[in-house]
Structure 1
């Protein structure tokens, strides 16, 4: 209720109350959504449908493939890490039926040189140079690799069996390729988890991806698969049946499978496979050493680079896909697409919540100078605030649990300490994505807003045979 007070404070109090009501209401809606996913996951866990498979690493590592496999790696200005990535991939995946296609640009000679250094004398690496100056888009680079792969198939008179996607900074798991090769018999698209590496030099930026992927790839995708919704591809650690990729390409006006108009062509490809009647699989497996079979990488360690990367994800998934993919599917599919596309709204709600904190602090300080507290929360607002507090406690428990499961208690506790910083990154990324999207509506060209990498998880460069 508003009380008599100094007029400027009355206006500030009114702004504070309305922003608080807006943020608290949407936080409750978000909490209902998250708790629904949590409850489904808990039910799957209790009924044994969310169990992670156990595999014997020794029996998988180096196992011959059932057919040819192509690994596509698009690059742009990755000269600092691509050599290490290739050297590790060639050692971790020694299968003779694997061929690695690395896409570079004609105006990026440093990366070309690094690719040749990383390949060494291994003939399984195929360097593909795009005659267009980079960066174009990641999808354009992937399409150039796909065309080179098709040309090789025509020359050999034989087709690949599966196509795997990885990024230039990825560290592949030695057991992953045989698992993907086996799973592609039962599915047209297979995704394994992605595990970001904690970074001691970037505990609040580069490491905050740990908890996000631990929860997303430990719970959200498990629920999504169990409910029969389309699975989005992460763009790394994913494999596609060659025939399905050909069908997607054949249905495209360009004759290529990756949409150059999209900034998140990987996400879109996963949904298009489902729409085409393809089968998708999210594959979680652990070795006898307890380590998850997953793609590992160091994510951006600087604030501006993290914001740029997440803005690209929000732009492509939340905004572009609204236009490009629409809302086809039943109730479950609509629910999942709403979750995918909530990024800009989440950024706005978080911004309002932090603004409320600043206003509340200012009004509290004014009260200390005898200017009085102009209003008190009413019954509805109190209910919303208590509901927000309870949901925040629940979310903190879940985030800690999923993070600690993969990284240990220490990183799990750091995940809670990083929450405010993660929220700031989400706010800045949402703003950048919205402005970029509006720019494309006004005619700006869609370009590869590339994230540059300068760190590589060196402890994983050599496959660990003793674990």
Structure 2
């Protein structure tokens, strides 16, 4: 055998092993997604044939008021948010001008820009309370939320009455005017009420920040609804969600007075699962307002590769790695399946890396055959069949993604979502590498800190009640 023959034989063998590993992994992931799709379709058809035949779809303007009026406390942790926290607070106060809400904003003593911005707003409104963390920042987001919890208890004692629920938001969130009304009405029946999150499409980063639009459109349009239908715990997105005060108290009592775990990188995700373990029921509410717009939380997500990798690495550590250690698999088949679905991101990154490497070796062996350096090396069985099945599943997955993006953002973004799937894969692989490094550091005694990304707030007038999604 010639030298070129040996090289091509080695490349073909490596190709086969990589493609086999990738094909099996992609097949399992594709079947997992396909089952979710099937449950979603069955649920939607059943509700259309039963519930919506008897009752018109509820809209926020027609929703009956809560039977149990009460104040909703909005927790907004802020570290290094001097550029966005002021406009965000003013926007909240304007949109919720007639709602019974009080905003608690957590800042740090070594973040003077955020302190000044919050103080300026608090000076003009008695519905804003600034809470300065006793420790310099950044600590963790959960630590900041715990200090807001302590401040709320002091505020309730001074006022002589209890709040009804805690609403979680971030400093860059664009809130909906009907959000408080919807959450206040439904928190009477549920322990956690989650509104959809719709990322704002950044004009300067259609491909990087845009992939968040695709993922959230599908996750908050399908995946969370399936969890709800199966009776699995509803993970909180950390923004646009309300938690009943009684449930937060239960979680706090179970953790020595701290409802949020400062040792968690994804305290919002864990919050929903902890509520489920306590027997509380969560719900995702997809409801339209009087204009037909979705009552949702909107915000800009990272628009650079480095920031996207940083954020997704934190999610991967908190959900797929540390989350496994901290939360286990829950009780029941549906709960275990949903947690497995959440934690597959790390394995999926390895599968994707093998797939792309396998394609590279396929190209190399193909070019060698075209150049006459070797004979063509066919794929061994059962690879051709596995690849054909995966190709069909990929086409289905692409159509499903496009359908959900179309519903949320329109036809142009739906078309963009196809090439953005490749970008999302690249970010996922880089995030997995970073996540493993972070996890090893934590496992060997590293310190947790708020590994946040830079935020920005849309240039909107405080009294504007409508934000274009593609702003």
TM range (shorter): over 0.9
Query: Which of 105, 129, 133 matches 1:130?
Result: 133
Contact 1:76 1:134 in 2 (8 A): yes
Give the deviation of 1:8 after TM superposition. 1.8
Taking the aligned partners of 1:300 and 1:437, their CA distance within structure 2 comes to 22
Give the deviation of 1:430 after TM superposition. 1.0
Contact 2:61 2:290 in 1 (8 A): no
Taking the aligned partners of 1:229 and 1:96, their CA distance within structure 2 comes to 31
Match of 1:23 in 2: 22
Give the deviation of 1:449 after TM superposition. 0.9
Aligned: 1:464 with 2:469: no
Matches within 5 A, 1:161-172: 161-172=164-175
Report the 3-state secondary structure (helix = DSSP H, G, I; strand = E; otherwise coil) of the residue aligned with 1:7. Answer: helix
Match of 2:80 in 1: 77
Match of 1:221 in 2: 224
Can you list the C-alpha shifts for 1:203-245, whole angstroms capped at 9, x where unaligned?
A: 1111110110010000001011011111101100100110110
Q: Which structure 1 residue ranges, 5 or more long, are not aligned?
A: none
Taking the aligned partners of 1:218 and 1:350, their CA distance within structure 2 comes to 25
Give the direction of change, closer, same or farther, for the CA distance of 1:8–1:169 in structure 2 (3 Å limit). same
Query: Which of 251, 254, 271 matches 1:251?
Result: 254
Matches within 5 A, 1:55-454: 55-58=58-61, 66-95=69-98, 97-119=100-122, 121-253=124-256, 255-373=257-375, 375-453=377-455
Match of 1:46 in 2: 45
- Deviation >4 Å, runs of 4+: 2-5, 49-65
Matches within 5 A, 1:2-17: 6-17=5-16
How many residue pairs get aligned? The number is 464
Give the deviation of 1:120 after TM superposition. 5.1
Taking the aligned partners of 2:296 and 2:64, their CA distance within structure 1 comes to 13
Give the direction of change, closer, same or farther, for the CA distance of 1:96–1:56 in structure 2 (3 Å limit). closer
Give the deviation of 1:57 after TM superposition. 4.8
Report the 3-state secondary structure (helix = DSSP H, G, I; strand = E; otherwise coil) of the residue aligned with 2:269. Answer: helix
Contact 2:66 2:184 in 1 (8 A): no
- Greater shift in the superposed pair: 91-100 or 29-38: 91-100
Contact 1:196 1:210 in 2 (8 A): yes
Report the 3-state secondary structure (helix = DSSP H, G, I; strand = E; otherwise coil) of the residue aligned with 2:210. Answer: coil
Q: Which structure 2 residue ranges, 5 or more long, are not aligned?
A: none
Give the deviation of 1:328 after TM superposition. 2.2
Contact 1:62 1:174 in 2 (8 A): no
- Greater shift in the superposed pair: 353-362 or 57-66: 57-66
Taking the aligned partners of 1:157 and 1:288, their CA distance within structure 2 comes to 36
Once superposed, what is the RMSD of the aligned Cα atoms?
Answer: 2.3
Report the 3-state secondary structure (helix = DSSP H, G, I; strand = E; otherwise coil) of the residue aligned with 2:47. Answer: coil
Taking the aligned partners of 1:267 and 1:284, their CA distance within structure 2 comes to 19
Taking the aligned partners of 1:309 and 1:437, their CA distance within structure 2 comes to 14
TM-score by length of 1: 0.95
Taking the aligned partners of 1:192 and 1:466, their CA distance within structure 2 comes to 16
Contact 1:139 1:262 in 2 (8 A): yes
Taking the aligned partners of 2:436 and 2:361, their CA distance within structure 1 comes to 25
Taking the aligned partners of 1:358 and 1:427, their CA distance within structure 2 comes to 16
Can you list the C-alpha shifts for 1:399-441, whole angstroms capped at 9, x where unaligned?
A: 0000000110111111112111111011111111111111111
Report the 3-state secondary structure (helix = DSSP H, G, I; strand = E; otherwise coil) of the residue aligned with 2:163. Answer: coil
Taking the aligned partners of 1:320 and 1:112, their CA distance within structure 2 comes to 32
Taking the aligned partners of 1:212 and 1:40, their CA distance within structure 2 comes to 19
- Greater shift in the superposed pair: 51-60 or 213-222: 51-60
Contact 1:311 1:429 in 2 (8 A): yes
Contact 2:211 2:424 in 1 (8 A): yes
Taking the aligned partners of 2:91 and 2:150, their CA distance within structure 1 comes to 25
Give the deviation of 1:95 after TM superposition. 3.3
Contact 1:104 1:111 in 2 (8 A): yes
TM-score by length of 2: 0.94
Can you list the C-alpha shifts for 1:155-211, whole angstroms capped at 9, x where unaligned?
A: 222111010000011000001110000001101111110000111100111111011
